[in-house]
């Protein structure tokens, strides 16, 4: 008996696009290839998304909604700044590791040759993530009565740049160098240096 067809064709298209981003190492994905992977005509793709750019925007929206909602849960459930910071950074690394195709969007690798507004959307997402980290770090003074030896904005930027570097290594290695590799030891060193 064949597997039941999904009733959410938009979701099927986005999942297929993410899978193709993982396996099409640096090659542009055509709507014809995507339609074939999904098992529909190109015209059917365009009934759900008016353009390929809109498909990428759908994935970016999924990334943003997933990450920001989980960050809000972390902030609600944890009060210590070091724990919050660690969990936010770990969330980014684990999310990328579990979604290699989507990681290629986060690094901009999959968006080369696509519309510039897609790069801008990813840049806005990283600005939101950096703002979340900065706010989390700034609250340390109120919650714990301690500050940092560096401006919280500069620190948030450094921490996010560390994560972005690990994501770039993951993509560059063909998804063999996992973002979480060495992270426990790296975070321990960062925590010891920063949260004194």
The pLDDT, as a whole number, for residue 152 is 95
- Which residues in the chain land under pLDDT 50? 1-6
Tokens matching residue 154: 């500069």
Q: Give the Å distances, CA to CA, from 21 to 53, 65, 95, 109, 191.
A: 14, 20, 15, 10, 34
How far out from the chain centre does Cα 4 lie? Answer: 30
Distance of alpha carbon 162 from alpha carbon 186, whole angstroms: 10
How far out from the chain centre does Cα 113 lie? Answer: 20
Q: Give the Å distances, CA to CA, from 104 to 55, 67, 107, 121, 142.
A: 15, 16, 5, 14, 37
95-143 tens-digit pLDDT: 999 999 999 999 988 888 788 999 999 999 999 999 999 999 999 998 8
Q: Is the pTM here over 0.75, yes or no? A: yes
The pLDDT, as a whole number, for residue 82 is 96
Tokens 């500050």 -> residue: 147
The pLDDT, as a whole number, for residue 114 is 80
Tokens matching residue 146: 């301690």
The pLDDT, as a whole number, for residue 7 is 53
Tokens matching residue 24: 């099409």
Q: Give the Å distances, CA to CA, from 109 to 33, 99, 119, 168.
A: 19, 14, 10, 9
């Amino acid at each position: 008996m064949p597997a039941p067809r999904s009733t959410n064709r938009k979701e099927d298209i986005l999942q297929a696009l993410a899978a193709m981003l993982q396996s099409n190492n640096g090659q542009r994905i055509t709507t014809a290839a995507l339609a074939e992977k999904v098992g529909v005509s190109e015209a059917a793709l365009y009934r759900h998304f008016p353009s390929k750019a809109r498909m990428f925007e759908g994935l970016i929206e999924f990334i943003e909604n997933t990450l920001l909602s989980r960050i809000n849960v972390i902030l609600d459930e944890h009060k210590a700044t070091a724990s919050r910071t660690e969990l936010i950074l770990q969330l980014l690394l684990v999310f990328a590791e579990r979604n290699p195709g989507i990681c290629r969007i986060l690094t901009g690798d999959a968006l080369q040759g696509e519309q510039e507004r897609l790069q801008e959307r990813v840049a806005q997402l990283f600005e939101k993530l950096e703002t979340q980290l900065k706010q989390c770090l700034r609250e340390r003074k109120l919650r714990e009565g301690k500050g940092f030896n560096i401006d919280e904005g500069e620190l948030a930027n450094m921490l996010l740049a560390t994560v972005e570097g690990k994501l770039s290594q993951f993509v560059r290695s063909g998804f063999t160098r996992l973002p979480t590799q060495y992270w426990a030891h790296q975070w321990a060193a960062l925590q010891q240096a920063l949260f004194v």
